[in-house]
Every structure is written in structure tokens, then in C-alpha cells.
Structure 1
Amino acid sequence: MTVLGEPRTADERRTPDRRGAVDGGAWRARARRWWPAAWGAVLGAVLFAVAHRAMPDDALISLSFARNLAEHGQWALTTGIEVHTATSPLNIWLLAALHLLTGGHAFLAAGALLAITLAATALWLRDLGGDRVALLGTALLASSPLLGSAVGLETYLAVAVLVGLVRYAADGRWLPAGVLLGAAVLTRPDLLAAALVALLVLLPGAPRLWRALPVGLAVALPWHLFAWWRFGSAWPHTVPIKGNGRGWFDGSFYLWNSWPDFFLVSFTGVTVVALATAAGGLAGAAWSLWTRRWVPVALAAGAVVHFAALGLSHAPPMMYYAGPPIGALAVALVLAADTVRWGWIVPAGLVAAGVAVSVLHGPGWADGLAPVRQNWATNPEYEAIARDLPTDGVVYSSTEIGALAFYCQDRGCTVVDGVLADPGRVDQRWVAPWRAERPWTALNYRHYRPPAPIPARWRLEMGPAEPRPGDWPITRAPGVHQVARLVPEG
């Protein structure tokens, strides 16, 4: 691709293979074609080796869904209790498939998916901007301490889908663009905003791109029809959960307004790198708009609209929710910088800054604390709790559920919560108020039958307290020690 945003001719598409034949034959041509995939896969493997013990609790939610799907054929967070609270069905399907291919190794499946995702991203980046864009763009994504703190979630998958979408849309290839448009919806419902805006920006240069819309609908619709019939809602229950969010602390902290007073104070290095990347991506998009290079503009415009959609949804201040918009702006920055002499220095500097933040974080990764860790306990601490939980009744977790549900699958305990695992409690707390306040959702809930909450025998509480025999120590943050305590429910 010689000019970003302009379709390549057939001769241009054949150029790399022809050049490879002249320079040294088919082997060199293949190496030239596939080295970005190897580069992305290596970066993914290295990142996973660093971050696998520090995956966020929500990542263990995805792994739990994937394990139950692969091993039991259940759409369930807690084994035996089906629930419609998985935000990213595509991420779960891919994890479940890799879970089977790796012989039941859930963490290995997550690492394999990360490597595959970054490999695909690198290939598409090379197609968009050449070798240097593939090299720097993939490195910038892999070195981001914000994105690295979301390993195991659908964050890198979302960025890859957007990059692939604009890669094919820039060439006017509406069929693969449409497939990736549907994949964007299946990756995250809110990702549709970014995908549609990106297509809209590129549409004037490729008028047939409108055909991607029915293709995307054909890809995404079957799952939503199945969910509507099987679970009683075309969209997951996380939509009303986020739509009815009440904010943190004094009720006024959400994702969109927490950067100066919360993120910058609590996660200074990560926030500075993330904001610098976003600013660079926006500046690169402005430069690209001036020079009429539309791919960076499409990615940046989609990122802005996507973040705005997250803000309107009252998403809680979980920093990794901003991962896909920050990732899209990182790619926009690299693509724009490559068109300016010595412009590569800016993304290279951000790569160095991201690596420095991760290196300075040091032993925290191995201790289960990523640079951004907003959970009550680390995964090793949750594993220790699950090892001791009783198996003679359901345990209600008053805080988080992902790691507990994941490790209880191996140890015979059953854990639910009021947000994601127990469909009855999810209905009472989230879905019922959402339906009552929005009569226009009646058609969506036509097949919905509110379930009863699952009775619990025990309650797991977490917070500051004087330790007692039988309590588990937990680490809310470095230097902040609290306890988890099991008490009879009711």
C-alpha cells in the first residue's frame, strides 16, 4: 500500500512476491511476507510470560466461561449455572477452541490466543504501512502497560479486529471488512461504534463498502438470535449492568472522568504513557486529515466515538475498559508518524516508556499485581481461598467472582455473586430495573423468564478487619493488606 487509505492495484499486491523471487527465491519471499506474524507471536509470548500471573479477575471470568463451554458445553461462569453475562462471545469461543487444542490448559490457551492476535495485527499493519509500521506498531501495543494489564480479556482481540477492518476497508474489500465488522460486535457490543465510524470515514474512497453492513449483520445476527431465544435477551446482561452503573467512591467516578483524580494518582506511570499515546494518536490523526491519509483518521475517529460510548454507558472506572480506544490511537500514531521524516522517534519513545514502566513494576508481575490492578485480591490469593472453601453448599462472594469460579472448577466448590454468576440475583439487581425504566426493550425480553436467586449457605466477605483464625490475607494494592472471611449466609 503506497498511500494510506487508497486501494492498491493488482500489480502493487503482487510486488512483494515478485521482489522476493528476484532477491533470492520463494523462501525469501515467504520470509518477507510472514516475518511480521513471527514478530507479533514472539511479542505475545513474551508479554504472556510476564503477565500471566497478574491477569485481572475479569480475565479469569473469560477463562471460566471458556472452560465450561469446552468441558461441559455450558454457557456458564460457575459450572452448572448458565448465565448470559459474557460480554465477548468471540473471545470465549476462541479460548474454548484453544482450550481443547491445548489439551485442557486454560492459561496456555490464553497465551496462544494473545500470540495469534498480535501476529494477525502485525500482518495487517505491514499491509497498511510497511515493515516499520508492523515493527513499531506491534511493539507499541505489546509494550503498553495499560493493555498488558488486560491480558486474558478481549482487549488485544478488539484492537486486532479494528486494524483488520480498516486494512480491508482501505482496499475497498467489503466482504472481509464485513466479516470483521460482525466480529467487532461479537468481540464487544460497544466496539460496533468504533467499527462503524471507521467504515464511514473510509466510505468516500470506496463507495462499495456499504456492502460490508449486511455481511456484518449476517455474521453477528445468528448468535444474537440464539441468545434472544435461549437466554431471553439478544444482548448480554452486562448491558444493563453498565447502563445502570452507579459510579465508585461518592457515586461520581466513572471511566470517562476518573483520569485526573483517580488513575493519574493511583497508576501514575501507566496513565502518563496511555495519555501520551492517546495525544500522539489524535495529533497523528489531525496531521493525516491535513495530508488526506484516511486510515489513521478512521482509527482515531472510531476510538473517540468508542470512548464516548463507554462514557455514556456509565462504565465503571476500570482502566482496561479504555484499552481498545488507546490501542486504536496507538496504531493511528504509528501510521501517521511513518509519513514524517524521523517521525518514528515518537512511537519508539513510547515503546521505551512502556517497557520502563513494566520493568520498574518489577516483582509485582510475579506477585500477581499488574501495573493496573483494581481487584480485591491477587489470583494466587484467590486460588488459596478456593482451595479452602467448603463444598457442602453454595458460597456467595460479596466482591469478585472470576478467579474464585475458575479455581473452584478444580476443587468442587460452588461460588456465585450478585453481578455475573447467579442469574436470579443479576435479574433482581440489574435486569429488572433496566426493563422497568426502558419500555422499548419489551421485544428483546419477550422470551425472558426471570429466574429465582440461588440460595447460598456461606458468604465470603472482603475488606479491612482485624485478622481472626480462618481468615485469608489479601492484598488490595501494594502495601494495603486486608482479609477475606467466610461467614454463614443469612
Structure 2
Amino acid sequence: MPPAPRTTALVALAGAVLGALLSWVGSRGLIDDTYITLSYARNLAEHRHWGMTPGLTSNAATSPLNVALLAGCFLLVRPFAGADGELALGVLTTLLGALAGWWSARAAARLGLPAAWPVAALVVVLANPFLVSALGLEVVLLFTAVTGLLAAGLAGRPVLYGLVAAASLLARLDLVVFVVLVALACPGVLRRLPVAVAACLAACLPWFALSWWWLGSAIPDTFVIKTNQRDFGEGRTYLRGLWTHYSINTPLAVGVGVAAAVLGLLVLVLLVVALLRRRARPGTGGLVGVGLGGVAYFAVYSVLGVPPYQWYYVAPMASLSFVAVLGAGLLLGGGSARRPSPVPAAALAVAAVAGLVACVPAAARSLPWPYPPVFANFATPAEYRRIGAEVGRLVGEERVAAPGEIGTLAYACDCEIVDQFSDPAYLQGVIEARQAEAGPLLRTLLEFNYTHRETAAAQPTPFVLRWVTAGADPAQGIASWRTTAGTWQTPDRLVLLRGEG
């Protein structure tokens, strides 16, 4: 059934409200990696420069589309609030929430579900503690892209599907698993697959070609950075990270996030059974494709053995949570055109919000919160912003080496703070190490990918930021700052020292 414009607009409005509320709640508690993205976006908006710091071109932004959209929002808010990154992020999150609502409503209408079900799906997904704890990264964008794939696929519009697929790949290249599986599950796209592929390639290949030629790599450098990291400890990989890493410090957040995903897995199995028994509603296959995409995404990351960064879990959690809600509506409605009651949808939404509220640590129960439910940085966002501003005044135009976490410090100091995320010279050894341990095929692909990379010599770094254990004598430093480190880490001191040159 084609969607009613009024219903679609109302669900889009609900998505916008949820996005605005989410961005306000998290505006002062953004994690360190979010500020890496905000730094890229600010430099692009203000200096037409692709890099984390004003003077260095780099390619460590995982989501080029997220950076570009944030840069546009920087320009949008600048006449009213200056370079306010949190406000720009709020505008983008609101717009993405509206778009996710629009596409969710259109997909739900074609599945025969009333408006209460896509609204509940938005609430359940956006209230996920892992998603809200990575706000500002591409987590909302990737969810929006998946809803767009489903809506275009169910509508049988191959050109639109191809364009949304291109946006998905520019949002995160690993979303290719959703692009492929949803396309295969939607007959209207599958029958005209060459059209969809052509539209996708026409829209995204120019960026990848430009990045390969100009930035020295078609894919973001975070691929080699993240897949080469081994500093989370023995056994703390993506496959086991929820249990060996996060459940130790934030067990409730893990429980809430996993519960919705497990419900999605159960609903996914029931939908597959209904399809095999030919008792499923038209369009059910597309929703199954979304669920299988979440499962495949988790499997691919498990095989890669990457570290358990919290935002890596958002794609499978969000997609399976989305399937849990809309799929439950389909199952409750049965194989006929009977429309399910909105009561179960409302119950799922209330449970999701209650779960999120319960996950917030006691020390962070103020609005906007000072740090999110899943938080593992070495200083709170407020502490990093204060320290970064002071470091900027102390070092001026000189370079300073980052202490391990760079995002918030770089954003606040607006100076040449360097590590492998901001300075390509720091990354060369990581690239060589990744190539050395890769198999023959991956090594060949990496060598081709870095064909145009220019190896720059490391420049002198007059200053260095270094962590020292709390209680140690920081007298030898130029300045030092004590941090409380939020929920996980023990208090430490960050010291500014003279470097080697």
C-alpha cells in the first residue's frame, strides 16, 4: 500500500523531535572520536581543507559523507552561533532523524503497518545506549541510510536505491553488506539491478577516485589504524568485546542493547519461517534483508578481529532493533491485511526509553549529561575541552604530540596536535605493518590502494602531552592537569612536556 503523505510527514516530524532531543541530551558529553569528525568538518567548512588540524591534510575520517554533512551544518549555523560544533551536530541529527522517520513511514506503509510502529522503531533504535554514546559519529547516518535502502527497495525504485546505496558507502564503506542483502531481498530492485548498480557507482565513484588520487588512499586510513590495533587486551576483540570489555564496566548498557538485538534475531527467524511457508506479507523479504545485514555485519567484523569500539556495535544493534519492532508488527498482524494494535509498539518504545535512563551512571544524571552511558575516555569531555584550550594558548603555532586521545584536545586547541589520525607521517609505520601481516590478496589490494600516497618525513615536535599516574611529580612539565576520567579509568594527570625538536 503506498504511504499516505500526512502520515509520512507526522512520522518524519517525530523523527526530527527525537533527533533534536537526543542531540541536546548528549551535546556536552560527546566522546573523543566524535571530536575527530567535528574537527574535520570545521576545517572543511572554514578553510576548505580536508584534515583534522588546519595545516595537515589527512585521510582518517571514516565517514566522508558525515564530515561533508556536518561541514554544511557548520556553514548553516555560523551566521547565528559561530563555529558551534555541538549545534551543527544537533541540526544534522535532527535532519537525519526526520529523514529516517520519512523513510521508515514509507517502508512501514508498504508493509501494512500503521504509524505507531515506525515511530516506535525510531524510539527503540535511537534510545540504544551504544548509539547515543557515539553520537556525532556516523551512527545516526548509517541507521538513516538503512531505512532509505529498505524504503527504496520496497518501493521498487532502482535509481533511488542506487543513490541511497552510494550514500551508504560514503557513510561507511562496510555498509556494503546491507546494500547487497537488501537489494537481493527486494524483487523490484533485483529485477533492475544493473540500473541500481549504475546509479550507485555514478554517485560514489568520483569521491573514491578523488580520495585515491588526492589523499593517497581510496578508503579512509582508519582501516589500517583500527585493524592494526591490539591495545584492548587479550581476548578483547569485536566478537567477545561486549562480554570481556563492556559488561565489566557497563553491564546494564550491554544488557539493554543486546536485548533489543536478540529480540530482533528471534523476530528475524520467525519472519524467515513465514516466508518459507508463504504466509508472509508482501515486502517482508526486504525487512529480512535488513536483519540479515545486521547479522552479516557482526560476522564480518568478528572475522576481521578489530577492537571492540562501541560504535562498531551500532549497525547490527540498530538494524536488528528496527527489525524487532517492524517485524513484531508484521507477526502480530498475521499474514492478512489486519493492522496490529499500537499498544505493543508503545510498550516497546517505553521499555527502550526506560532502559536508556537506567543505563545512565548516577554521576551523569543531569541534562545535558556530562558523559554518555558507555564512556571509556581518559578524561571527561569538559576536562578535555578545558585542557585543549589551555594547550592551544601554551603552544601557539608549534606542534604538540597527542597523548593517545586526540579528538577533543584538537578541537578545543585548534592547533597542530599530531598523531596517526592527523599527521600522515605518523601513519606510515602502521601502513607498512598492516601490509606485512596481510595475506597475498589483501597485501596486493593495500599496495594498489596506496599507489599515490606520498611518504612525508616526520616534522620536529617541540611539545608532547603525556599521561602520568596520579600522585607522580609533574614538576618537570610545563603544565599539568588532573582528570577524573568519568566512569572507567582511574584519575590521572596529563602533562605538557618539551619534545625533541
TM superposition score normalised by structure 1 = 0.89
Question: Which stretch shifts more, 234-243 or 77-86?
Answer: 234-243
- Aligned with 1:236 (options 194, 216, 220): 220
Query: Alpha-carbon deviation of 1:356?
Result: 2.8
Question: Which stretch shifts more, 192-201 or 363-372?
Answer: 363-372
Q: Which amino acid aligns with 1:391?
A: V
- Aligned with 2:410 (options 405, 424, 431): 405
Distance 2:91 2:481 in 1: 33
Whether the 8 Å contact between 1:194 and 1:302 is mirrored in structure 2 is yes
- Aligned with 2:395 (options 391, 402, 409): 391
1:445 aligns with 2:454: no
Q: Which amino acid aligns with 1:347?
A: L
Distance 1:247 1:72 in 2: 34
Distance 1:354 1:148 in 2: 12
- Aligned with 2:70 (options 95, 98, 101): 95
Match of 1:323 in 2: 314
Distance 2:434 2:389 in 1: 37
Distance 1:35 1:331 in 2: 19
Map 1:409-428 onto structure 2 (within 5 A). 409=414, 413-417=415-419, 419-428=420-429
- Tell me the alpha carbon deviations over residues 353-372 of structure 1, each in whole angstroms, 9 at most, x when there is no partner: 33432566543665632101
Distance 1:142 1:440 in 2: 36
- Aligned with 1:142 (options 123, 126, 133): 126
Change (3 A) 1:204 1:72: closer
- Aligned with 2:371 (options 363, 369, 372): 369
- Aligned with 2:244 (options 261, 275, 284): 261
Query: Alpha-carbon deviation of 1:263?
Result: 1.2
Distance 2:141 2:446 in 1: 29
Map 1:46-61 onto structure 2 (within 5 A). 46-61=21-36
Map 1:49-88 onto structure 2 (within 5 A). 49-88=24-63
Distance 1:360 1:442 in 2: 46
Distance 2:181 2:499 in 1: 49
Change (3 A) 1:112 1:345: closer
Whether the 8 Å contact between 2:158 and 2:192 is mirrored in structure 1 is yes
Secondary structure of the 1:102 match is helix
Whether the 8 Å contact between 1:246 and 1:314 is mirrored in structure 2 is no
Match of 1:124 in 2: 103
- Aligned with 1:481 (options 470, 491, 501): 491
Distance 2:401 2:424 in 1: 13
Query: Alpha-carbon deviation of 1:279?
Result: 0.3
**Unmatched 5+ stretches in structure 2:** 109-113, 276-283, 333-342
- Tell me the alpha carbon deviations over residues 379-429 of structure 1, each in whole angstroms, 9 at most, x when there is no partner: 2111111222122521101211111111112xxx32112x3011101112x
Match of 1:301 in 2: 292
Whether the 8 Å contact between 1:147 and 1:320 is mirrored in structure 2 is yes
Secondary structure of the 1:338 match is helix
1:432 aligns with 2:432: yes
Whether the 8 Å contact between 1:158 and 1:187 is mirrored in structure 2 is yes
- Aligned with 1:193 (options 159, 164, 177): 177
Secondary structure of the 1:53 match is coil
Match of 2:264 in 1: 281
- Aligned with 1:110 (options 85, 89, 92): 89
Whether the 8 Å contact between 1:203 and 1:210 is mirrored in structure 2 is no
Secondary structure of the 1:485 match is strand
Alignment coverage as a number of residue pairs = 459
Change (3 A) 1:68 1:371: same
Question: Which stretch shifts more, 379-388 or 85-94?
Answer: 379-388
Q: Which amino acid aligns with 1:308?
A: A
Query: Alpha-carbon deviation of 1:203?
Result: 4.2
Query: Alpha-carbon deviation of 1:345?
Result: 6.4
Among all aligned residue pairs of Structure 1 and Structure 2, give the percentage whose two residues are the same amino acid.
30
Whether the 8 Å contact between 2:117 and 2:325 is mirrored in structure 1 is yes
Secondary structure of the 2:401 match is strand
TM superposition score normalised by structure 2 = 0.87
- Tell me the alpha carbon deviations over residues 182-206 of structure 1, each in whole angstroms, 9 at most, x when there is no partner: 1111001111122212222324885
Secondary structure of the 1:78 match is coil
Secondary structure of the 1:44 match is helix
Whether the 8 Å contact between 1:364 and 1:370 is mirrored in structure 2 is no
Secondary structure of the 1:486 match is strand
Query: Alpha-carbon deviation of 1:439?
Result: 3.2
Greater relative contact order (CA < 8 Å, ≥ 6 in sequence): 2
Query: Alpha-carbon deviation of 1:447?
Result: 1.4
Change (3 A) 1:377 1:184: same
For the aligned residue pairs, the C-alpha RMSD in angstroms reads 2.1
Distance 1:463 1:178 in 2: 51
Distance 2:352 2:427 in 1: 41
1:245 aligns with 2:249: no
Distance 2:143 2:470 in 1: 41
Match of 1:153 in 2: 137
Distance 1:472 1:351 in 2: 38
Distance 1:240 1:401 in 2: 18
Question: Which stretch shifts more, 474-483 or 180-189?
Answer: 474-483
Secondary structure of the 1:82 match is coil
Distance 1:245 1:203 in 2: 41
Change (3 A) 1:306 1:64: same
